[in-house]
A = this chain, B = another copy of it.
Amino acid sequence: MTTSFNPELDLVVARVIAAPRPAVWNAWTDQASFEKWWVPAPEICRVRDMDLRPGGSLRTEISGDGADFRPHLTGCFLAVEELERIVFTDALVGGWRPAETSFMTAVIAMKDHPDGTEYTATAMHRNSPDRDRHEKLGFHDGWGTVTRQLAELVESS
């Protein structure tokens, strides 16, 4: 299944990362690496579940001090295509069960680029008000920041 970008419903951040695709893929799929970039510093991330298969649970927590953690993302993987694409949604929890509330589906795509890897993260919403709300909540700042953190992590290693 391919998904196409709908500017009225979707938001996207894209960045060329100066590292090969396997390095970017590993930084996404290795829990310890993922925790290093998934939330904007100095906030701290903890992965509770990362069951990388369709129907698998993705659950992260966030903390300001590294002691008290609160829920961050609770979702479900929909597609995991090695070195290519990861799709997850917060409309479902692990095992594909409907979630109490839902906001978005995210599509993470990785492609070869002359300078490394073209990394694209798209957030799909159910309607324009949700898209606009996400934008006002700081989508570009937040997702832009963590994508920069991802790039810095893999470019420095």
Contact = CB atoms under 8 A, between A and B. Distances in A.
Interface in A96-125: 96-100, 102-105, 107, 124-125
A98 B104 contact: yes
Interface string A31-44: 00000000000000
Interface residues of A, number: 31
Contacts of A91: 89, 91-92, 98-99, 102
A95 interface: yes
A25 to B, nearest CB: 20
Nearest to A87: B96
Given A54-B1, A55-B79, A102 B98 contact: yes
A16 interface: no
Q: How many copies does the complex hold?
A: 2
Contacts of A107: 96
Contacts of A78: 54-55, 78, 96
A53 interface: yes
Nearest to A124: B97
Interface in A48-97: 51, 53-56, 78-79, 87, 89, 91-92, 95-97
Interface of A: 1, 3-4, 9, 51, 53-56, 78-79, 87, 89, 91-92, 95-100, 102-105, 107, 124-127, 130
7 contacts: A1-B55, A1-B96, A54-B79, A91-B99, A96-B105, A98-B104, A99-B126
